């Protein structure tokens, strides 16, 4: 079933000049880019986006990291897009990520791990409209 997923190229990968490489990996994996833009999140935006993690010990550092520079947010579409993008990203911890994945190639650690992707349809349904309106998505 065709579905949408939400992607972030995180500040570490943007700073390292890897936007093009990661977008190419996404395209080569057959995921369609429905919408994309560069943003620099405010603290409130980052806290709201990661609200599900607000009780976790790493929450404060995660928010600081996500507002440390611009990132590229995108909506991706395809058959089974959520799982396919998670497979392309690799394990959250780049040290555990498989060869050929974005995090293996560009992640430095569990926090500076290059990218984010929705983990389930329910999450994608919250994350996509958090940053994009319907008008911003191509058909
Ligand atoms: P992400 O997919 O963006 O979702 C939450 C993020 O928290 C995760 O990727 C990691 O980059 C980050 N994070 C930082 N520390 C930890 C940790 N100890 N365990 C899990 N995630 C962490």
Contact 26, 129 (CB under 8 A): no
Task: Tell whether the model's pLDDT for residue 79 goes beyond 90.
Answer: yes
Share of the chain above pLDDT 90, in %: 99
Q: Which of 7, 2, 23, 30 is nearest to 124 (CA)?
A: 7
Task: Tell whether the model's pLDDT for residue 110 goes beyond 90.
Answer: yes
* Banded model confidence at residue 108, pLDDT cuts 50, 70, 90: very high
Q: pLDDT for 112-136, tens place per residue? A: 999 999 999 999 999 999 999 999 9
- Ligand 1: residue whose CA is nearest its atom 10: 111
What kind of architecture, by CATH, is found in domain 2-131?
A: 2-Layer Sandwich (3.30)
Tell me the backbone φ, ψ of residue 103, rounded to 5 degrees. Answer: -70, -35
Distance between Cα 42 and ligand 1 center (Å): 18
ipTM of this complex prediction, to 2 decimal places: 0.93
CA-CA-CA-CA torsion sign (92, 88, 73, 14):
positive
Contact 53, 59 (CB under 8 A): yes
Q: pLDDT for 19-61, tens place per residue? A: 999 999 999 999 999 999 999 999 999 999 999 999 999 999 9
Segments making up each domain of the chain, as ranges = 2-131
Position 106 scores a pLDDT of 98
Three-point CA angle 42, 48, 54, nearest 5°: 115
56 is in an annotated binding site: no
> Which residues have a catalytic role annotated?
116
- Ligand 1: residue whose CA is nearest its atom 19: 110
Residues 6+ apart with CB under 8 A from 100: none
How many Cα neighbours within 13 Å face the side chain of 24? 5
Average pLDDT over residues 53-77: 98
Position 90 scores a pLDDT of 98
The residue whose two tokens read 């650690």 is 109
State which of 111, 114, 118 you would mutate to test the pocket of ligand 1, scoring each by most atoms of that ligand within 8 A of its C-beta: 111
Dihedral (Cα; 42, 133, 137, 7), 10-degree rounding: 40
Distance between Cα 92 and ligand 1 center (Å): 7
Position 1 scores a pLDDT of 84
Displacement of CA 51 from its chain's centroid (Å): 16
86 is in an annotated binding site: yes
Q: How far apart are CA 75 and CA 125, in angstroms?
A: 11
């Amino acid at each position: 079933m065709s579905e949408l997923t939400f992607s972030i190229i995180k500040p570490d990968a943007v700073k390292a000049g890897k936007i093009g490489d990661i977008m190419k990996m996404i395209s080569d994996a057959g995921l369609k880019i429905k919408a994309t833009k560069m943003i620099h999140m405010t603290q409130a935006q980052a806290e709201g986006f990661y609200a599900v993690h607000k009780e976790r010990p790493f929450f404060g550092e995660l928010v600081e990291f996500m507002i440390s520079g611009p990132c590229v947010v995108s909506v991706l579409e395809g058959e089974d897009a959520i799982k396919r993008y998670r497979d392309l990203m690799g394990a959250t911890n780049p040290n555990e990520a498989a060869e050929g994945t974005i995090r293996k190639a560009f992640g430095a650690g569990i926090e500076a791990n290059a990218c984010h992707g929705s983990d389930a349809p329910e999450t994608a349904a919250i994350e996509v409209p958090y940053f994009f309106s319907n008008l911003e998505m191509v058909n």
